[in-house]
Amino acid sequence: MAKITYIEHDGTQHEVDVKPGMTVMEGARDNGIPGIDADCGGACACSTCHVYVDPAWLDKLPAKDPMEEDMLDFAYEPDPARSRLTCQIKVTDELDGLVVQMPERQI
Ligand code: FES
């Protein structure tokens, strides 16, 4: 299990255990965490699963593929350095402790 902390825009924190193999988006959805809408269900086609990754974790995540990069252009106030789509991040044991923050709104 990997412990992931999801922080809402207002600072409310949710710390949950997510099974490796799931995505960071699925971890939020299955735990009822607000702020990640995931309208397309994880197909990298909506950008409503956008988060800002804690700077300490940026280097530990796999690189964005071109499709994620393109979809992030449609996200609400993307930050080129910290924005990721959570449906494109697979949880692994190495991501134990990951911290992500949701934007003010999704699109
Ligand atoms: Fe739609 Fe991630 S859930 S892009």
What the chain holds in terms of domains, given with CATH numbers, is: 2-101 (3.10.20.30)
Model confidence, pTM: 0.97
Residues 26-48, buried b or exposed e (16+ Cβ, 10 A)? bbbbeeebebbbbeeebebebbb
Q: How far is CA 38 from CA 1, 74, 92, in A?
A: 22, 13, 20
Distance between Cα 39 and ligand 1 center (Å): 6
Whether 44 lines ligand 1, by a CB cut-off of 6 Å, is yes
Residue 87 CA: nearest ligand 1 atom is: 2
Q: Is the CB of 42 under 6 A from ligand 1?
A: yes
Distance CA 84, CA 64 (A): 8
pLDDT tens for the chain, residues 1 to 107:
999 999 999 999 999 999 999 999 999 999 999 999 999 999 999 999 999 999 999 999 999 999 999 999 999 999 999 999 999 999 999 999 999 999 999 99
Cβ atoms of residues 28 and 73 within 8 Å: no
Amino acid residing at 71: M
